[in-house]
Every structure is written in C-alpha cells, then in structure tokens.
Chain A
Amino acid sequence: MRSQDSDALPISIRGVTKTYGAVHALDDVSLEVKSGEFITLLGPSGSGKTTLLMVIAGFTRPDCGSLKFGEREVIRTPPHLRDLGMTFQSYALFPHMSVAGNVAYPLKLRKLQKAEIAERVEKALETVQLGGYGDRRITQLSGGQKQRVALARSIVFEPRILLMDEPLSALDKKLRDQMQIELRHLHEKLGMTTVYVTHDQREALTMSDRIAVVNKGRIMQLASPRELYERPANRFVADFIGDSTFLPVERSGEQVSYGGMPLKFVQAPPDTPTLALMVRPERIVLSSEGPREGANNFAATAVEVVYQGDSYLLHARLDDGTLIALRGGVRGASLSALPNVGDKVTLTLAPEDTVLIDGSEA
C-alpha cells in the first residue's frame, strides 16, 4: 500500500446548492479540501453535512455547483466512475459474500488477476488488523470488526479520496475512542484525502486537520480544531463545540466592558456590530482569595455544586442573573475548599481566556 501522499487528490467544491422543496439542504456551499487532508464535516442532524458527502460521492445530484477532484470536473460523473472509497454508517457489507469476498469486490470490478486480488485483500485486512479473517461470514463479525472490514473494502483499491459517513456512530464509547486513534494513524499511513462526517464534536476535534461546522446547509466556520474551539466565529459554533455561556458586552472605541467593568483581553475582538463574551466552563477559575490583579473578576453566588468524579461542576449566578458554569479539578485541597450553596464567590478569567465573538444569533 501507499506510504506517501503524493497521489492524493484535492477536492474543490464551488457554489453547490441543493433544495428539497423550500428547504435548502445545501445553500451555496464552497469548500477546498487540500490534497491528503483529513477534513471533518461537523453539524447537528439535518444540517446538510451528509447531503454534502452524498454530493461528493455522487448519490445526490445538486441543483447547481461545481465539484472537482484535482483538475477533473466530476459533478455529472455517475458514482461508479468517481473512483473514491467510502464507508457507510450502516457499513453496507454485502451479507451474501464472505469478508474476503467483500474486500475483493472492488478489485474484481477492476478486473485484476486472481493472485493479485488475493494478495491485496489479505494486505488490506492486515492493515485493519483483521489478517486471517477472510473466510468469515459478515454475520459472524462484531460491530467493530464490521467497521474494519468496511474500511478495508474502501481502501483496498487505493482510492485517492476516502469518504466516511459517521463510521463510528454504532460502536460503544471505548471502541469508538480506540478506533478514532486508529483511523487517524491509518490516514497518516495511507495519506488519502479524507472527508469525514460526524455529529460528535469530540470525534471531530480528535481526528481532523480541519473541521467544517455545518448548519442549515451552510458552512459556519472552517478551521483547525484548536482555532475552532478557542476562536469560534459565531455563537452557533461556540455553542455547538464545547459548552459555553455568553455574556452581553458593550464596545466603545477600543474598550469592551461587561456591566460597566472594562475587560482585559489579548486577542482583538471581531469587527461586528455586537459582541459577546464567551465563557468556557474549564477556562473560568474559582478564586479563593477574592478578586485577582490582571484578570477579569466576576462576583457571583454559588447555586449548585456537583461532584463528578474526575472534576466538579459549579453553577453560579452572576449579579445580572446570568447562570455560569465552571468546571474545576479535584486535585489536592481544591475539593475541600469548594463553596457551599448560597456562598458569595469570585470567578476570574485570564485575559488569554477572554474570548470576544460576534454577538448576533447565527
């Protein structure tokens, strides 16, 4: 199998629109996927992420738009001539064929010699750690094994583009975590351009080079996992990825203030009519010795304290009535220093963690 990504293909999507009646499943979507990149389409169900994948695969015909694999325009190419690998949410393994039969099928269609087929099937099965499973029946496999066979079948003919439609959604959490890392390694090894669809934000953050957050048929933001999490472009992205509370802030010139208190921040706020302060539960800190110099301090009242094993969750009400969540570590003395319900507390936010985003509802 391939070891470098020299023959992966970039994907260029331009102005793709698909409507079902009055509903815009895809609304003028453009996306450039670089050669060898692992990109994830992330969004709630019905957002259009699967429709976009189906357009790339050729199973959904858009109303208009352009789709290029490398230099080749493929928007009117039928699916069987697009030559890309795909794994389905349902795995779609043919139940009347053995494991080897399934993996060999794309090679048979490409009229390879019998000996070469056998060799490549075994190699593909070894790649997904299922060497020697060729004679098994599909019905004898566990969910995780089926997932691996589906993967082997989609890479055995060395496609230059791989599409994956929620491949891990049917697996239990432990197996899912393990498969995420394995898929990531496999991508590094094989290097094909990969478009991955999921509604699981953690999965997207773990695996992707870049993530496209999709909502209502549009791409809300396209960025690296870190940028997406720390600098979300709007409230939808901030809300969808991670937990956050939004506080209304006012801008006057260079200064941004919350409830009359000027905020200290590092990253310049976006140039939008309204702004909001995004507070992540794990970035805001409970201060035991009152307001801290050089940070933003918020006075609040503890409403609920929940012990969750690996961390604790504190809900506190700010003076303006906003409920804010704070997640803290349970290392050492911090657990015994937790406030009681009704206590006055001070929450502090470092300037580096003070993130101002577009305040309009997306």
Chain B
Amino acid sequence: MQATPANASGLRVDEKLERMKLFGLSSPALLLVLVILVIPVGWLFYVSFLGGNGQFSLENYQRMVERSSYMRIFRTTFEVSLVTTGLCILIGYPLAYFLSQIPPRIANLCMITVLLPFWTSLLVRTYAWLVLLQKQGLINEWAMALGLWDEPIKMVHNMTGTLIGMVHIMLPFLILPVYGSMKAVDRDYVKAAANLGASPRRAFWDVFFPLTMPGLFAGTLMVFILCLGFFVTPAVLGGGKVIMVSMKIVSNIELFVSWGAASALGVVLLALTFAILWVASRFLKLDQIAGGGH
C-alpha cells in the first residue's frame, strides 16, 4: 500500500497548526514566569556580584566564607530543616497510614482536620502557637493545674517553639502525598504477602512500605525545601534566638540596607536548593524504576 501524498502534507499542516495553538495557549504563563521569576532572579544574581562601590566584586560571597556567623546561620537552617522534616515523617507517616486504613467516610472527616490549618493564614497559626506556648499560655497553665510540672516551661522564643510551629505547618505537605501513595496501594498486595507467609510486620516492611516510598520521598523533599527558606514561623516563635538564612536576608536589607549581601545569601540558598533537588531527582528516578512505574 502506498500513502496518498496529498493527504500526508495536509495532515502535516494540521499537526503544525495544533502545536502552534498549544504554544499560543501557554504563552501567557510563559510570559508571567519570565517577568516575575526569571528577570528578578537574574537581577538578584547580578546585584550579588556588586561591591559597596558599585563595581564587580566577590566581597558578598567572601564575607559568607570568612565570617563564622554566616556558617552558623547556614548550619542552623539545615539543622532546623532536617529536624522538622524528621519529625514530620515520624508523625505524618503513621497518621497517613491510619487515615488510609479507616473507612473512607471517617477518613475524609479526619482529612479535613488535617487540612483545616493548611487553609488558615500562616501568621494566624504562628501567633496562635505563641499564645498557646508562652509562659502564661494555655499549655503551661493547664499542665501546672494538672500537676504535670511546677514551674512554667519555656517553650517559645527558642528552638522548641520554632520546631513545634514548623512541624505543625509542614505536616500537611508530608501527609498529602504519603496518603495519596498509600491509597494507591492495592490491598491485595498485603493480603498476598500474608498468604505467602509474611507476618503483618513483614508484609508492611516488605511490601507496603516500599510501595509508598515515592509518596514519602516527594513529601520529605517538599517539606525539607520549604523549611530551608522559611521565615515567618522561626522569626516569631524563635524570638531572635533561631536565625535562619531567610531572616538574615531580611536583616541585611532592613538593618544594613545591603542589597548585595542579601542577594548573595539568596543566590547561595537557591543554589543549595537546586543542588538538593538535583541529587534527589537522581534518587527519585532510581526509585521509580524500583517501584515499577508507581
């Protein structure tokens, strides 16, 4: 059989037209990304290489390496992010597992209680924690009334408060993807494992857990990266004792009016985030192969 040449060229034109239409439809979004993302980040990049005298200089980056205070800030940022992510996994995974196993109607109700704080303003939630956790706050007063401890415990304006607030705010970001991947695991898999002789514990670790890895991985990555650039919660609940990179950026601008120094910090944070994403994406690909297209 031979192709009909007349049709072939007509079909090619159709194909081309369709592609152009697709491009036309997506161009507003592309423009928006260009204007509010690519250009400002490019400008940030440019400013970070300007010295105090307006000439090209590496002084903003030099300062970061030379001054131990900067190293401390980066270390704090990573520590807070790691611990928050770890706590989110420890609390979020079992909670998501529980939600995935109970009847859907009750699970939906519980899901709303998980998501409700997610839809509340970040500031409101952070200040709510301030109210709850402070010396004369609800938690201290109740605990003392119940005789759990005698002296008010300092739970805000320090690392504890920062972590409590951040874990609470980040939890939905972990629970949602994990819950999604758990719901996608066919219950027959666990039954099959049991039938083949696996105890409930073995069936969980051999079959259920590996199949929820992609969701856990996505949630972990999301929480960790969001934590790296977090500002409001550590600023309010940390009380100036927990200084993260984003807070240093603000103080560089507000206190020292040094756009160059602030930009350099932003660039380094961005570069670190990209580096983490890059490393993670390599693992994610490996995982997808191991997960059989899940």
Chain A residues with CB under 8 Å of chain B are: 57-59, 78-86, 88-90, 92-96, 105-106, 109-110, 137-139, 153-154, 157
Nearest A residue (CB) for B189: A92
Q: Is the CB of B195 within 8 A of A80?
A: yes
Q: Which of A58, A83, A95, A157 contacts B292 (CB 8 A)?
A: A95
Q: Is the CB of A92 within 8 A of B192?
A: yes
Q: Is the CB of A83 within 8 A of B186?
A: no
Q: Which of A80, A86, A88 contacts B198 (CB 8 A)?
A: A80
Q: Is the CB of A139 within 8 A of B196?
A: no
Q: Is B95 an interface residue (CB 8 A)?
A: no
Task: Please give, as numbers and ranges, the residues of chain B lying within 8 Å of A79 by CB-CB distance.
Answer: 191, 194-195
Q: Is the CB of B188 within 8 A of A105?
A: no
Contact with A along B185-211 (1 / 0, CB 8 A): 010110111111111101100110011
Q: Is B241 an interface residue (CB 8 A)?
A: no
Q: Is the CB of A137 within 8 A of B202?
A: no
Q: Is the CB of A95 within 8 A of B195?
A: no
Task: Please give, as numbers and ranges, the residues of chain A lying within 8 Å of B194 by CB-CB distance.
Answer: 58-59, 78-80
Having A57-B191, A80-B198, A109-B197, one finds 17 other A-B pairs with CB under 8 Å, namely A57-B195, A59-B191, A92-B188, A92-B189, A94-B193, A94-B211, A95-B211, A95-B291, A95-B294, A96-B207, A96-B292, A105-B193, A106-B196, A109-B202, A139-B292, A139-B293, A157-B196
Chain B residues with CB under 8 Å of chain A are: 186, 188-189, 191-200, 202-203, 206-207, 210-211, 290-294
A96-B211, A105-B206 known; A88-B191 Cβ under 8 A? yes
Q: Is the CB of B197 within 8 A of A137?
A: no
Q: Is the CB of A95 within 8 A of B191?
A: no
Q: Which of B186, B202, B291 contacts A92 (CB 8 A)?
A: B186
Q: Is the CB of B198 within 8 A of A137?
A: no
Task: Please give, as numbers and ranges, the residues of chain B lying within 8 Å of A109 by CB-CB distance.
Answer: 196-198, 202
Which of A78, A79, A81, A96 has its CB near the most chain B CB atoms (within 10 A)?
Answer: A96
Q: Is the CB of A105 within 8 A of B196?
A: yes
Task: Please give, as numbers and ranges, the residues of chain A lying within 8 Å of B206 by CB-CB distance.
Answer: 105
Q: Is the CB of A96 within 8 A of B197?
A: no
Q: Which of A59, A83, A89 contacts B197 (CB 8 A)?
A: A83
Task: Please give, as numbers and ranges, the residues of chain B lying within 8 Å of A78 by CB-CB distance.
Answer: 194
Of all A-B residue pairs in the complex, the 7 with the closest CB atoms, nearest first, are A95-B292, A92-B192, A92-B188, A106-B196, A109-B197, A79-B194, A86-B195
Q: How far apart are the CA atoms of A90 and B292 in the complex, in Å?
A: 16
Q: How far apart are the CA atoms of A157 and B195 in the complex, in Å?
A: 11
Task: Please give, as numbers and ranges, the residues of chain B lying within 8 Å of A90 by CB-CB distance.
Answer: 186, 188
Task: Please give, as numbers and ranges, the residues of chain A lying within 8 Å of B291 by CB-CB distance.
Answer: 95-96
Q: How far apart are the CA atoms of A109 and B202 in the complex, in Å?
A: 9
Task: Please give, as numbers and ranges, the residues of chain A lying within 8 Å of B199 by CB-CB distance.
Answer: 80
Nearest A residue (CB) for B199: A80
Task: Please give, as numbers and ranges, the residues of chain B lying within 8 Å of A86 by CB-CB distance.
Answer: 192, 195
Which of B194, B195, B294 has its CB near the most chain A CB atoms (within 10 A)?
Answer: B195
Q: Which of A58, A88, A139 contacts B188 (CB 8 A)?
A: A88
A to B CB contacts below 8 Å, 14 in the list? A57-B195, A58-B194, A79-B191, A80-B195, A80-B197, A88-B191, A92-B188, A92-B191, A94-B211, A95-B291, A96-B211, A105-B196, A106-B196, A139-B292
Give A256 Cβ to nearest chain B Cβ, in Å: 50
Q: How far apart are the CA atoms of A93 and B186 in the complex, in Å?
A: 10
Give B126 Cβ to nearest chain A Cβ, in Å: 40
Q: How far apart are the CA atoms of A92 and B189 in the complex, in Å?
A: 5
Nearest B residue (CB) for A138: B292
Q: How far apart are the CA atoms of A110 and B211 in the complex, in Å?
A: 22
Task: Please give, as numbers and ranges, the residues of chain A lying within 8 Å of B290 by CB-CB distance.
Answer: 96
Task: Please give, as numbers and ranges, the residues of chain A lying within 8 Å of B191 by CB-CB distance.
Answer: 57, 59, 79, 88, 92
Task: Please give, as numbers and ranges, the residues of chain A lying within 8 Å of B196 by CB-CB distance.
Answer: 80, 105-106, 109, 153-154, 157
Task: Please give, as numbers and ranges, the residues of chain B lying within 8 Å of A110 by CB-CB distance.
Answer: 197
